[in-house]
Structure 1
Amino acid sequence: MSSVSASAPPAARLAATILLLRDGEQGMEVFMVVRHQQIDFASGALVFPGGKLAPGDSEARTHARCTGVEGLNKDEIAPRVGAIREAFEESGILLARPAKGGAIGAERLAALGTRYRRGLDRGEIAIADMLETEDLVLDCGGLVPFAHWVTPTFMPKRFDTYFFLAVAPPDQVGVHDGHETVDSAWLTPPTIVLDELAGRRTLVPATMLNVKKLGFSVSVKDALAAAKAKPVVTVQPVLEKGPDGKGLLRIPQEAGYGVSEFTMDIPS
């Protein structure tokens, strides 16, 4: 079996995403959004809210307004900030609270969304600007590391993505932004898998595998406990060419997906 190689692969950009969870009548649900058809990566696909880290995610003044980051260094805090920011931009759900205590009510959350979501998305303001102006702190302690994927080297656009689990605040309603994302829904993992098999949904492999991994748990409590119990193993799929000419993407068995390889067409 020979490896498929590529010279000078593009650098992988840091990114982060959150699997926002809640328990529904049919079981545990995760908030998903549909990416706009004109987006240059995963267009039209069902994804978790997330995206590239912004410069402001690494600022000291931002990290000064993070809770639950004791013992973490700046490189560990930045993906958590980016995940919370991206979730707010793409879903309107904000994992934060007033610095003086209490919760962000529905009315204030709606006002924050109107005032800041587009500016954050366009890079016109940094997350620290909103936190300082509104006297808020981010609930980074509510994020549980779940997965870490690096795009294969043969892909023209590559990301180094951290996945986190978080409980969705019960008083916040997820709403897609209407720009990068054009639809949204709370779905159970089995429903997502069946919809993809039936051709009703499109998912990239990393998203589908993380949906299936999430589906090993039956409730939010179980999912959080399972994620906390096992260390995250970095996954960077390696594409190999078998004797039959088909492509095999290999991933570490210890990453916890129940598979170590799957087939795909080798890109030309």
Structure 2
Amino acid sequence: MSVAGDNTTNGAAQPKPAATVLLLRDDPAPPPGRAPLQVFLQRRVKQMAFAGGMTVFPGGSVDPSDVPEAERWAGPDPAEWAGLLGVSPQVAGQAVSAAVRELFEETGVLLAGPPGGEPGSLTSQAPLWRKQLVEHTISLAQVLVDSGYVLRSDLLRSWAHWVTPPQEGRRYDTLFFVAAMPAGQEADAHTTEAVEAAWWHPEAALEAFDTGEMTLMPPTLLSVRDLTAFGTTAEALAGCTGRDLTPVHPRFREDDEGVRYVILPDGSEHRFLPVRPA
């Protein structure tokens, strides 16, 4: 996840636009008692300024360059996404583009391909494009031009919209998307922002959270819980239809034992950290 400096107003950091992707696949040989559905999770480097040491979905801040030309775009356009997400066409277009770019930077999975074709296996140039994007020496728009690919916005589904509370030092206005793992590609952990990454069955991730093996950001925790309602990637993609995309403005509280809870607008509380993060 790319993190830039925050602007502040009245002492509170202004939320930066961001995008996150729940990358899904079906386990070809799920363990007994597990449904096939898996989600890709990354454990961030402890030294990261935001969410250090926590396990998250791939994603990051929107970059001003995150708007490919219309001819390099396939699927719902920014105006269509705007109507779905409840934001402006500019915000929607940049969020979709950022989701595609960040997913590629952090996992090597590119939701783009030849016009009229599926993404499929990437060319030998893909590692160079990925490196250049991470180094900010090229934009996603230029990658699409150089490759002849089009961004496949139709491979994304809308999932949720979270805004970091004002009391946090770093704040993000994050749109969450869902995508299926493209055939012929592999997700990896070749990013400096994560110490490890793996495919998890949602139930197994929650078990690791309950035992303290894994720490999850509140949006990640609740999204993983939501995924347990689905057995396959196809079911999860279908389940995106009709989800409530009203921005979630959570609050936090800590009890006398140092356990932290996120409080949602409906008043429900959810434990997410046993102790206050360092």
**TM-score by structure 1 length?**
0.84
Cα contact 1:147–1:162 (8 A) shared by 2: yes
**TM-score by structure 2 length?**
0.82
Are residues 238 and 46 of structure 1, via their aligned partners in 2, closer, same or farther at CA, if it must alter by over 3 Å? closer
What amino acid maps onto 1:102 in structure 2? G
Equivalence for 2:244? 231
The total of aligned residue pairs comes to: 253
Cα contact 1:62–1:127 (8 A) shared by 2: no
Match of 2:76 among 49, 66, 69: 69
Equivalence for 1:181? 194
Note if 1:31 corresponds to 2:40.
Answer: yes
Counterpart secondary structure, 1:106: coil
What root-mean-square deviation, in Å, do the aligned CA atoms of Structure 1 and Structure 2 show?
2.7
Are residues 107 and 123 of structure 1, via their aligned partners in 2, closer, same or farther at CA, if it must alter by over 3 Å? closer
Equivalence for 2:3? none
Note if 1:50 corresponds to 2:59.
Answer: yes
Cα distance in 1, alignment partners of residues 243 and 142 from structure 2: 36
Note if 1:168 corresponds to 2:181.
Answer: yes
Are residues 62 and 202 of structure 1, via their aligned partners in 2, closer, same or farther at CA, if it must alter by over 3 Å? farther
Q: What whole-Å deviation, never above 9, does each CA across 1:157-207 have from its counterpart, x for those lacking one?
A: 111111101111121110122311232111110010111122222222221
User: 1:106 offset after TM fit, Å?
Assistant: 3.0
Are residues 12 and 63 of structure 1, via their aligned partners in 2, closer, same or farther at CA, if it must alter by over 3 Å? farther
Cα contact 2:113–2:120 (8 A) shared by 1: no
Higher mean C-alpha displacement, 155-164 vs 172-181 = 172-181
Counterpart secondary structure, 1:228: coil
Cα distance in 1, alignment partners of residues 232 and 120 from structure 2: 26
Match of 1:260 among 247, 268, 277: 268
Are residues 251 and 74 of structure 1, via their aligned partners in 2, closer, same or farther at CA, if it must alter by over 3 Å? same
Match of 1:106 among 102, 121, 145: 121
Which residues of 2 match residues 241-252 of structure 1 at below 5 A?
249-252=262-265
Q: What whole-Å deviation, never above 9, does each CA across 1:202-256 have from its counterpart, x for those lacking one?
A: 222221111111222222122122211333221111246899x997642133xxx
Q: What whole-Å deviation, never above 9, does each CA across 1:126-146 have from its counterpart, x for those lacking one?
A: 111110011110111111110
Equivalence for 2:15? 12
Cα contact 1:63–1:77 (8 A) shared by 2: no
Cα contact 1:69–1:77 (8 A) shared by 2: no
Cα contact 2:121–2:183 (8 A) shared by 1: no
Identity rate of aligned residues, in percent?
A: 33
Match of 2:145 among 132, 139, 162: 132
Cα distance in 1, alignment partners of residues 19 and 114 from structure 2: 24
Cα contact 2:189–2:195 (8 A) shared by 1: yes
Are residues 168 and 266 of structure 1, via their aligned partners in 2, closer, same or farther at CA, if it must alter by over 3 Å? closer
* Structure with a larger share of its residues in helix: 1
Note if 1:204 corresponds to 2:217.
Answer: yes
What amino acid maps onto 1:65 in structure 2? R
Cα distance in 1, alignment partners of residues 122 and 191 from structure 2: 20
Counterpart secondary structure, 1:128: helix
Cα distance in 2, alignment partners of residues 172 and 145 from structure 1: 22
Are residues 208 and 130 of structure 1, via their aligned partners in 2, closer, same or farther at CA, if it must alter by over 3 Å? same
Are residues 80 and 131 of structure 1, via their aligned partners in 2, closer, same or farther at CA, if it must alter by over 3 Å? same
Are residues 35 and 239 of structure 1, via their aligned partners in 2, closer, same or farther at CA, if it must alter by over 3 Å? closer
Counterpart secondary structure, 1:55: coil
Cα distance in 2, alignment partners of residues 130 and 247 from structure 1: 42
Equivalence for 2:133? 120
Cα distance in 1, alignment partners of residues 110 and 163 from structure 2: 26
User: 1:68 offset after TM fit, Å?
Assistant: 1.3
Match of 2:107 among 79, 91, 95: 91
User: 1:261 offset after TM fit, Å?
Assistant: 2.0
